[in-house]
């Protein structure tokens, strides 16, 4: 099997370590690098993952590296094609993602500056919360072209929506197509008009299968999808589905596949919205975001997307000073 490229995952917590494992198990990269500021944690996790290779049957090498706050140890990510930033605190029950902004901004800025120094050609995928703001900050701190910095949220939110619809209707997840746009937060915009379910080999609009109240309940559950997991776990936030989403984005980039998926991308005029990082559907390739793919929205969905854009625009302006 042809393997190529190097992907670095910054932050070896639940999200980062699970992402590194998924990436390694794809067996498409030469190397997966996992880093953290907790001494020995990334090295220990890397050793453990490497020891799983004979059992799972993959050859991608996992390297762990402890990094210091002044950039020590970042040589390990040199030459990375992709860097996934997961460093930062997760939510506790009752917290909003926005409660993390000051602490995580300091972490993401420091990480992004070191990424720019040691992996200047990488595509950067941000997952740290609050997502839209941390993506904007990573772009500022790296000064990379905007297409080379993107965030993960839409794949996860869409997957949560799909899972809820499939459970509600008692159908396989593969039969369901859903979409969420907007921000990863209160202004997430689930798009019921784009949701379909395959029944007896035919695609049917979700609106033909469920009542407006049922759809609204699923939309609400999607919007609170992260908080629902946080409340159950009590310590930490979701990581299996989030890691799957970030890993798929990295796969699309390294394979230059042109896969189209919902991501947080820089929007320049699409939907009449300009100059903001926002959840949209985009085509991914070796250069990061190849293009934002516009989709037809109803008037109310478009209005909600514009509202989300203005809410995140204000917050993204604030991160410049954090």
Ligand X SMILES: NC(=O)c1ccc[n+]([C@@H]2O[C@H](COP(=O)([O-])OP(=O)(O)OC[C@H]3O[C@@H](n4cnc5c(N)ncnc54)[C@H](O)[C@@H]3O)[C@@H](O)[C@H]2O)c1
Contact region with ligand X (CB under 6 A), list: 12-20, 211-219, 265-273, 283-291: 12-20
160 is in an annotated binding site: yes
Which residues fall within 8 angstroms of residue 155, CB to CB, at 6 or more apart? 244, 245, 246, 248, 249, 261, 262, 263
Among 263, 277, 247, which residue's Cα sits nearest to residue 21?
A: 247
Establish if 87 lies at the interface with ligand X (CB under 6 A). yes
Distances (CA, A) of 269 to 175, 274, 280: 33, 5, 12
Establish if 180 lies at the interface with ligand X (CB under 6 A). no
Catalytic residue selected from 6, 109, 184, 251: 184
Nearer to ligand X, 150 or 197 (CB): 150
Task: Find the farthest-apart pair of alpha carbons in the chain and give their distance in angstroms, rounded.
Answer: 59
Residue corresponding to tokens 């040691």:
118
240 is in an annotated binding site: no
Establish if 137 lies at the interface with ligand X (CB under 6 A). no
Q: Which residue is nearest to ligand X (CB)?
A: 13
Judged by DSSP in three states, 305 sits in helix
- State the minimum distance, in angstroms, from the CB of residue 190 to ligand X: 15
Among 228, 16, 44, which residue's Cα sits nearest to residue 107?
A: 16
Establish if 16 lies at the interface with ligand X (CB under 6 A). yes
Nearer to ligand X, 97 or 194 (CB): 97
Instruction: For residues 172 and 178, give the distance between their C-alpha atoms in angstroms, rounded to a whole number.
Output: 13
For residue 91, give the DSSP letter: P
Token representation of residue 51: 């020891």
Q: Which of 128, 158, 163, 180 binds ligand X (CB under 6 A)?
A: 128
Q: Which of 225, 242, 285, 288 binds ligand X (CB under 6 A)?
A: 242
Q: How many residues bind ligand X (CB under 6 A)?
A: 36
Instruction: For residues 277 and 146, give the distance between their C-alpha atoms in angstroms, rounded to a whole number.
Output: 9
Question: Is 118 in the active site?
Answer: no
Which residues fall within 8 angstroms of residue 68, CB to CB, at 6 or more apart? 37
Instruction: For residues 249 and 231, give the distance between their C-alpha atoms in angstroms, rounded to a whole number.
Output: 27
- State the minimum distance, in angstroms, from the CB of residue 152 to ligand X: 5
Q: Which of 21, 80, 129, 316 binds ligand X (CB under 6 A)?
A: 129
- State the minimum distance, in angstroms, from the CB of residue 287 to ligand X: 22
Applying the rule CB under 6 A, the residues between 255 and 314 that interact with ligand X are: none
256 is in an annotated binding site: no
Q: Which of 89, 95, 217, 233 binds ligand X (CB under 6 A)?
A: 89
Instruction: For residues 129 and 42, give the distance between their C-alpha atoms in angstroms, rounded to a whole number.
Output: 21
63, containing H or E segment: strand 61-66
Instruction: For residues 322 and 308, give the distance between their C-alpha atoms in angstroms, rounded to a whole number.
Output: 22
Q: Which of 111, 125, 149, 210 binds ligand X (CB under 6 A)?
A: 111
**What character string, x for contact with ligand X (CB under 6 A) and - otherwise, covers 38-77?**
x----------------------------x----------
- Cβ pair 165, 205 in contact under 8 A: no
- State the minimum distance, in angstroms, from the CB of residue 131 to ligand X: 4
Residues that bind ligand X (CB under 6 A): 10-16, 35-38, 67, 86-91, 100, 104, 107, 110-111, 127-129, 131, 152-153, 156, 184, 236-239, 242
Active site residues: 184
């Amino acid at each position: 099997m042809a393997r190529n490229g190097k992907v670095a995952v910054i932050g070896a917590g639940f999200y980062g370590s699970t992402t590194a494992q998924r990436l390694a198990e794809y067996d498409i990269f030469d190397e997966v690098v996992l880093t953290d500021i907790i001494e020995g944690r990334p090295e220990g996790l890397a050793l453990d993952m490497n020891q799983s290779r004979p059992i799972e049957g993959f050859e991608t090498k996992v390297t762990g590296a402890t990094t210091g706050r002044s950039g020590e140890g970042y040589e390990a990510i040199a030459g990375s094609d992709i860097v996934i930033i997961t460093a930062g605190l997760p939510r506790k029950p009752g917290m909003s993602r926005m409660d993390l902004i000051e602490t995580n901004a300091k972490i993401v800025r420091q990480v992004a500056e070191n990424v720019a120094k040691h992996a200047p050609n990488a595509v950067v995928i941000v997952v740290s919360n609050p997502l839209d703001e941390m993506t904007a900050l990573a772009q500022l701190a790296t000064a990379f072209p905007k297409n080379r910095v993107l965030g993960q949220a839409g794949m996860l939110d869409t997957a949560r929506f799909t899972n809820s619809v499939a459970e509600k209707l008692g159908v396989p997840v593969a039969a369901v197509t859903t979409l969420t746009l907007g921000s990863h937060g209160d202004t997430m915009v689930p798009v019921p008009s784009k949701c379909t379910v395959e029944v007896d080999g035919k695609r049917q609009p979700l609106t033909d299968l469920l009542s407006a109240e049922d759809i609204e309940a699923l939309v609400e559950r999607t919007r609170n999808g992260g908080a629902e997991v946080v409340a159950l776990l009590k310590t930490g936030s979701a990581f299996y589905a989030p890691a799957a989403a970030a890993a798929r984005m990295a796969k699309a980039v390294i394979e230059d596949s042109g896969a189209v998926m919902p991501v947080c991308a820089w929007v320049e005029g699409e939907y009449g919205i300009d100059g903001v990082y926002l959840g949209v559907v985009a085509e991914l390739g070796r250069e990061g975001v190849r293009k934002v793919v516009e989709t037809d929205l109803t008037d109310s969905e478009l209005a909600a997307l514009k509202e989300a854009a203005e809410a995140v625009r204000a917050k993204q302006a604030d991160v410049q000073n954090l």
